[in-house]
Chains A and B, each alone.
Chain A
Amino acid sequence: MKGGAPEPRESGGGQGSRPELGEGRLGDRVAGGFLVILALWVAWESRSFVVGFPADPVGPRALPLFAAAVLGGAGLYTLFRPEPNPLWPPSHTVLRLVTAVAILGAYPLALAWIGFVVATGGAVTLLSLLFQGPPVRSALAAFLFSGGLFLLFVHLLGVPLPVGQLFIRIMGW
């Protein structure tokens, strides 16, 4: 762990580039190859987009075919002129990432059943733990936060958020 005062980020741009580079160029080649296959698949699927109607000379195929052309072209270029690999994370970090995705993915599944407050509170707590937050405080903050959001959206703004079938069954709401 590096100690010392916080340092300003290397400004690699707002969106894409964390400029750490790794070894080899396999990443781009794989990506390029994938894109070419995707483009071919899109073009293939577009065969069935026809309209039995004369007034539309271009038809519903236009956009997918254009997308396929752009993807395919860019994919080919990336395949043959790959850039160096990014720094892929080590396995324990991958585990964390997968866990995060699992939490995020489980959220929509659980939402209708356990309701907004519990689902969001739970998800945020778990994510906080992944970010090395102190357990008790994470849970408190998470549930306060989701409770507050519920109040704000449902009662103040009138946006319906699911209360949870479980609670409806138990409490007879």
Chain B
Amino acid sequence: MRVLPERSCWVFPLTVVLIVLASCRPPESDRGWECIAPANPGGGWDLTCRTAGRALTDLGLAPGMVRVTNIPGAGGGIAFAHAVSQRAGDGNVVVAASPATVLRLAQGQFAHLTAEDVTWLGAVATDWGVVAVQPDAPWEDLEELLNQWRSDPAAIVVSGGSAVGGQDHMKVLLLADAAGIEPQAVRYVPFDGGGEAMTALLGGFVNVFSGDVTQADGQVQAGNLRVLAVLAPERVEGALSSVPTARELGYPVHWVTWRGFYLPPGVDEGSYRRWLEVLDELAHSPEWEEARLQARLSPFYMAGEEFQEFVHRQVSEFRRISRDLGLIP
């Protein structure tokens, strides 16, 4: 079977050349800002990039559409390495981040890269950590749980969606630290994501669930879950507004699951200032308020120097706890 007719010797090569030239042109949106999501479409970072990107365009803060590029891998490590080695000095790109990124950096999971290798821009929304049990669990409140935990740590098993040493594990470790429980004695069993971890609690396989407000509020409303404490400085709005904070109960432990961004290293002063201004306007705009509410996230804003220091403090603290636990040498 012949693919092409024998005649038209010169028409076809010409057509091919033209098509090739035409298709070699890159898509238009190549100048303009870019948000790199260190995960696949549909994940948290991807959502952060898209929602923020849309808001920036709607507010006219960005020149045109904000392009979202997905660079998944190594829990954010590939994107991190990409930003550091290939986008240094690029003032038009931000990368989505969260404490997951910081935690992995603290634990040295991005090979030789550290948190000092990038410029931390700011955070624009947050989720808060929660500690939850089954509705008919024997503990009325956090204090009772902690009492039993202190006296018989082997009897309490916690589930969470992150790996050993990950965010959900860190939450309970911080709480245990504040409550005088040995971190090594805390029994944490990792699951693949908050959904599976919650299912384990609902099925009675564990006693306690460590997660976030956005993971828990649906089940709380359905009556399947009882949140003992929210790891926040103040009470949250929404379905969990009647849940006390750990601080109220005497344990000043916060877990800020912030959603924010970092810039590649070497960005010039002018672009940095510009990003700070843009972020400030974005975070305080009604469009962002609406987007935040739709995602059921809580308000949070920290940027610039303050944020950089915050991140570095988090790195030290995570490193300390991880060392105490024997997770890193």
Q: Mark A residues whose CB is within 8 Å of B.
A: 51-56, 115, 117-118, 121, 137, 140-141, 143-144, 147-148, 150-151, 154-155, 160, 163-164, 167, 173
Contact = CB atoms under 8 A, between A and B. Distances in A.
Contacts, number: 59
A136 to B, nearest CB: 8
Interface SS of chain A: helix
Contact of A53 (B2, B69, B164): B164
A52 B187 contact: no
B25 A173 contact: yes
B26 A163 contact: yes
Contacts of B164: 51, 53, 55-56
B74 interface: no
Interface in B9-28: 12-13, 16, 19-20, 22-27
B267 interface: no
A118 B25 CA distance: 12
21 contacts: A51-B327, A52-B325, A54-B184, A55-B164, A117-B20, A117-B23, A117-B24, A140-B3, A141-B4, A143-B19, A143-B20, A147-B19, A147-B23, A150-B23, A154-B27, A155-B27, A160-B69, A163-B24, A163-B25, A167-B24, A173-B26
B20 A121 contact: yes
| A55, A140, A143, A148, most chain B CB atoms within 10 A | A55
Contact of A52 (B19, B22, B327): B327
B209 interface: no
Interface string B171-191: 000000000000010011100
Contacts of B327: 51-53
A140 B26 contact: no
Nearest to B164: A53
